[in-house]
Amino acid sequence: MASVVPVEGDFDDPMTEPDLERTSKPQDADGGLGGPGSRQRRAWASRFGKLVAADLDTLSALAESEVGKPPWETITAEVMPLIASCRWHARRAGRILRDHRLPGRPWWLLGQRGLVRRIPLGRVGIIGTWNYPIQLLGIQIVQAVVAGNQVIVKPSERSPKTQRRLLELARAAGLSGEDLVVMSSERTAGSRLLQEPHLDHVVFTGSTAIGSLVAESAARRLLPTTLELSGCDSAIILDDADPVLAARSIWASVTMNAGQTCMAPRRALVHADRHAAFVAALVPLAAGAAMRNLIDATAADRHRKLVEDAIRRGGRPAALVADPADGRRVRPQAILDCPLDAEAFDAEHFGPLLVVRAWRTEAELLTLHRRGGKHLATSVFTADPRRADRLVPALGGGLVTINDSIIPSAHPAATLSPEGDSGWGSSRGTEGLRAMTRPVVVTRTGRWRIPVGEPDARGKRMLEKMVRRWGRGITPPPDTN
Q: What are phi and psi of 437, to 5 degrees?
A: -130, 170
pLDDT at 3: 52
**String of b and e for 411-447 (b: at least 16 CB within 10 Å)?**
ebebbbbbbbbbbebbbbbbbbbbbbbbeeeeeeeee
Contact indicator for 426, 416 with CB cutoff of 8 Å: yes
pLDDT at 11: 36
- The answer on pLDDT for 359 being more than 90 is yes
Predicted confidence band at 1 (pLDDT cuts at 50, 70, 90)? Answer: very low
Burial of 95 (0-12, 13-18, 19+ CB in 10 A): exposed
pLDDT at 273: 98
In sequence order, which residues have a C-beta less than 8 Å from that of residue 117 and are 6 or more positions away? 99, 439, 440, 441, 442
* Range with top average pLDDT, 24-33, 64-73, 226-235, 323-332: 64-73
Predicted confidence band at 31 (pLDDT cuts at 50, 70, 90)? Answer: low
Distance CA 368, CA 378 (A): 13
What Rg do the C-alpha atoms of the chain give, in angstroms? 26
Predicted confidence band at 447 (pLDDT cuts at 50, 70, 90)? Answer: confident
Distance CA 196, CA 215 (A): 15
Predicted confidence band at 14 (pLDDT cuts at 50, 70, 90)? Answer: very low
Distances (CA, A) of 373 to 56, 205, 478: 38, 18, 38
- The answer on pLDDT for 12 being more than 70 is no
- The answer on pLDDT for 16 being more than 60 is no
pLDDT in tens, 71-110: 999 999 999 999 999 999 999 999 999 999 999 988 888 8
Reference 256, options 339, 385, 135, 158; nearest CA is 135
pLDDT in tens, 372-431: 778 889 999 999 999 999 999 999 888 999 999 999 999 999 999 988 888 999 999 999
Ordered structural domains, the chain, with CATH: 20-229+429-438 (3.40.605.10), 233-412 (3.40.309.10)
Least confident piece of the model among 188-202, 389-403, 457-471 = 457-471
Distance CA 374, CA 365 (A): 16
Distance CA 157, CA 372 (A): 28
pLDDT at 311: 95
- The answer on pLDDT for 137 being more than 60 is yes
Q: In what order do the strands lie in the sheet with 437-445?
A: 100-101, 112-120, 437-445
- The answer on pLDDT for 251 being more than 90 is yes
pLDDT in tens, 286-306: 999 999 999 999 999 999 999
Q: What share of the chain in percent tops pLDDT 70? A: 92
- The answer on pLDDT for 238 being more than 80 is yes
Contact indicator for 257, 73 with CB cutoff of 8 Å: yes
Burial of 136 (0-12, 13-18, 19+ CB in 10 A): buried
Q: What are phi and psi of 185, to 5 degrees?
A: -85, 0
Distances (CA, A) of 78 to 49, 56, 73, 139, 461: 12, 10, 7, 10, 67
Distance CA 421, CA 223 (A): 19
User: For 422-455, what is the HEC assignment?
Assistant: CEECCECHHHHHHHCEEEEEEEEECCCCCCCCCC
Q: What are phi and psi of 154, to 5 degrees?
A: -105, 105
Q: Which is it for the CA torsion 33, 39, 42, 47, positive or negative?
A: negative
Distances (CA, A) of 178 to 15, 173, 223, 230, 441: 17, 14, 21, 32, 29
User: What are residue 233's DSSP bridge partners?
Assistant: 265
- What is the average pLDDT score of the chain? 91
Distance CA 305, CA 83 (A): 38
- The answer on pLDDT for 64 being more than 50 is yes
Distance CA 235, CA 440 (A): 40
Contact indicator for 428, 414 with CB cutoff of 8 Å: yes
